[in-house]
Structure 1
């Protein structure tokens, strides 16, 4: 006599697996995007530290027009005579979606912006822009 599972036993097992999947799947969906957003905040923190070192050496943050390029090479030797002999950043920082991080100087403060998953300014939900100033909160 062969021993095998009956159709009823297989249906019960499939039902149990379906119920487990229904509880687990919603918790896993969206976790990847949240991790990407958290990573962007971490990357922005590193860039912010480089900007603060630039300010320590030069007395001011780079202008918006000079951008983050100013952290890789001195944009104006007369304006920044105390520029470090080593670059503040080795390469242009990009966010989790491989888009360059945007730098904006506002008075004597700055902000860093990632355009998020849609790679466009604005957006909502997972496509919303990520601001360094809001990452800190």
Structure 2
């Protein structure tokens, strides 16, 4: 007498796969916005730190030359000596390239400032004046 073995197929059914994909989509919908919220907060904090670092570099520039760079010279004066700068002792930043804000935009610099000795600011994620959250402006005078 021959014995036959019953062959059983193993694997997942289409219904089981759809249930798992549904659960993953549900979790992503709940967790995703929270992660993005924290990412926006991180960029805002990074911009504040960069504004403070650039402000400190501008203060070092003033100690050496007696005045802040003009608006025309801009923040580039922290990396490259302006032609009129006799006692320039830079570069005043560690990198040879001017940092961009966390949203990949240039920082705005005005001397003399309307709000302080100089105005140094970024317009946030939206690139417009004002805003809240990630769109808020980050400035040296705040």
Q: TM-score, normalised by structure 1?
A: 0.69
- Name the CA distance, whole Å, in 2 between partners of 1:21 and 1:102: 37
Structure 1 unpaired stretches of 5+: 1-16
1:68-105 Cα shifts (integer Å, max 9, x gaps): 1111222413xxx2111x32232212100111111123
- Name the CA distance, whole Å, in 1 between partners of 2:30 and 2:84: 58
Structure 2 unpaired stretches of 5+: 1-23
Deviation at 1:26, TM superposition (A): 6.1
For the pair 1:88 / 2:96, whether they are aligned, the reply is no
For the pair 1:106 / 2:113, whether they are aligned, the reply is yes
4+ residue stretches of structure 1 with deviation over 4 A?
Answer: 19-27
- Name the CA distance, whole Å, in 2 between partners of 1:25 and 1:100: 29
User: Residues 54-133 of structure 1: matches in 2 within 5 Å?
Assistant: 54-71=61-78, 72-77=80-85, 81-84=86-89, 86-89=90-93, 90-104=96-110, 105-106=112-113, 109-119=117-127, 121-125=128-132, 126-133=134-141
Match of 2:11 in 1: none
Given the superposition, is the C-alpha separation of residues 26 and 96 from structure 1 closer, same or farther in structure 2, using an over 3 Å criterion? Answer: closer
User: Residues 6-45 of structure 1: matches in 2 within 5 Å?
Assistant: 27-45=34-52
Equivalences, count: 129
Deviation at 1:27, TM superposition (A): 4.4
RMSD: 3.1
- Name the CA distance, whole Å, in 2 between partners of 1:49 and 1:118: 26
Larger Rg: 2
